[in-house]
Amino acid sequence: MDHKFIQKPINLYLSAEHECSYLHERQANSLFVDPELDMTANIYSELIQQGFRRSGGYVYTPYCKKCHDCIPIRLDVKNFVLSRSQKRCKNKNKHITVNAKATVYDNDHYQLYASYVNSRHPGGGMDEPDNDKYLDFLTSKWSKTTFFEFRENNELMGVAVTDIVEGGLSAVYTFFNSSEEYQKRSLGVFSILWQVEEARHRGLKWLYLGYWIKNCQKMNYKNNYQPLEYFYNHAWHNSPPGHEPI
């Protein structure tokens, strides 16, 4: 790792054990970067290459005592090829226009976000959205973040919260109209496909997609985007753990 932006050791702190959000009846820990660190977008660009992610201004990575199923992944956008279903999704949403918006409070965005988390994450700790905490969750003071707004006929369809990091984009969070009439539009898939195209347009190589968890349906879908690289054993690999070429 090129430490051109990290000039001194970074303190890391292990969280208390808590219930895992993804795998039933498992306990989890997270390793947090010192919140007192003067974090910058450049330092974060190095940390994301080491499997870290951000939630608001907090930078962390899963660090569980008995489980190593959360695998950081990134998509090689230059070599990504659309599947048939992804081509259909792109065609269904061909009339959507995308605009870059500043990371400031927008009531239309917030109302869509609140509706999304209530429908998608009931009982998961996110289903009581708070407009005071909304931007704290999605943004930070130091990250290079953009809200990419999806509209069709001026109707707000979704928002992709995206970080610009060295060599790539990072898909932080996407929320969209998830009502029954829009489910066939596969707006979540469309958001990823659009971010792939945006990364290519910027001449970037990677789209960071967070964590892939083989045994969690909510996270396993990311395998539909290839070629992926998987971060484990302190390095990026072309295949997930247990599938390395001999």
**Residues 209-221: b if buried by 16+ CB within 10 A, e if exposed:** bbbbbeebeebee
Mean pLDDT, all residues of the chain: 91
Contact between 129 and 136 (Cβ < 8 Å):
no
> Looking at the domain assignment, is residue 163 inside a domain?
yes
- Where residue 6 falls among pLDDT bands split at 50, 70, 90? low
> Looking at the domain assignment, is residue 93 inside a domain?
yes
> Looking at the domain assignment, is residue 173 inside a domain?
yes
Q: Which residues have a Cβ under 8 Å from the Cβ of 14 and sit 6 or more positions away?
A: 29, 30, 31, 32, 63
How does pLDDT run across 59-73, given as a tens digit for each residue?
999 999 889 999 999
> Looking at the domain assignment, is residue 23 inside a domain?
no
Residue 129 scores a pLDDT above 80 = no
**Residues 154-178: b if buried by 16+ CB within 10 A, e if exposed:** eebbbbbbbbbbbebbbbbbbbbbb
Domains in the chain: how many in total? 1
**Sign of the Cα pseudo-torsion (222, 224, 226, 231, in order):** positive
Cis upstream peptide for 227 (omega within 30°): yes
How does pLDDT run across 38-60, given as a tens digit for each residue?
999 999 999 999 999 999 999 99
> Looking at the domain assignment, is residue 135 inside a domain?
yes
Contact between 174 and 161 (Cβ < 8 Å):
yes
- Where residue 96 falls among pLDDT bands split at 50, 70, 90? very high
Q: Of 34, 83, 26, give the one whose Cα is nearest residue 57.
A: 34
pLDDT average, residue stretch 18-27? 90
Q: Which residue has the tokens 């469309």?
A: 190
> Looking at the domain assignment, is residue 94 inside a domain?
yes
pLDDT average, residue stretch 180-201? 96
Eight-class DSSP state of 24: T
| 129's tokens | 């959205």
| 170's tokens | 């990072």
How much is the pLDDT for 16?
Answer: 94
Model confidence pTM above 0.85? yes
> Looking at the domain assignment, is residue 60 inside a domain?
no
Q: Which residues have a Cβ under 8 Å from the Cβ of 163 and sit 6 or more positions away?
A: 44, 54, 143, 144, 145, 169, 170, 172
E-strand stretches of the chain: 12-14, 18-19, 27-28, 30-33, 53-55, 58-62, 71-76, 97-101, 145-152, 155-165, 168-176, 206-212, 228-232, 235-237
Domain hosting 141: range is: 76-201
CATH of the domain at 166: 3.40.630
> Looking at the domain assignment, is residue 31 inside a domain?
no
| 191's tokens | 């958001």
How much is the pLDDT for 7?
Answer: 61
How much is the pLDDT for 90?
Answer: 97
Distance CA 98, CA 146 (A): 12
